[in-house]
Amino acid sequence: MHAPPEPKRLPDSRAPIEFLPPGVLPSDATDAYPNALTRQINEAVLPTLPNDLTRMIYLASLRDCNSGLYLHPELSHQYGVPAVDRALRFCHERVFRDLLTTRLPEYVLQLQEYIRYTRGETLTVLNTWKGLQAYRATVPLAALSLSSELFFLNIAIALEILGAPGLELQHD
């Protein structure tokens, strides 16, 4: 006679949630930078942008769609493509991780702020984002598909909320 199979156990809710494959961005890397270039980007470049969604879009815009390499017009010449690629990849993965732990109301506020930052016409931006879904190309290449889908869902919901009739964008 065979023993009955062991019941499946739910994962420990205290265990860290992995948004990227193991080893891509270690859980203990939340405050550490792998090198001075990464620190410079995190402390001098990224803070000039208003929020994590804007940072994510910016970092994704530096990624070559054919090679997956991150290229910066000045830093790549100054430090070399491999070093800049590593630093920008680390920053992109870190911002993505931060966004995935963000609550939905914050996505709405960050999308609002992004639209103001671009100085685009709100309805045009919302309709373009809904139609093109270009935000799907902003996730890091190493992101787990479940993490990507969560990000896409949060963006899609934020777009619907901001596009709801009678909703006025808040202005500072």
pTM: 0.78
* Phi, psi (degrees; rounded to nearest 5) at 63: -95, 125
Beta-bridge partner residues of 29: none
Q: What is the DSSP letter of 159?
A: H
Beta-bridge partner residues of 11: none
Rg (CA), the chain: 19
Q: Are 167 and 161 in contact (CB under 8 A)?
A: yes
pLDDT tens, residue order, the chain (172 aa): 565 555 544 444 444 445 555 555 444 444 466 788 999 999 999 999 999 999 999 999 999 999 999 999 999 999 999 999 999 999 999 999 999 999 999 999 999 999 999 999 999 999 999 999 999 999 999 999 999 999 999 999 999 999 988 665 554 4
Note the residue count of the chain.
172
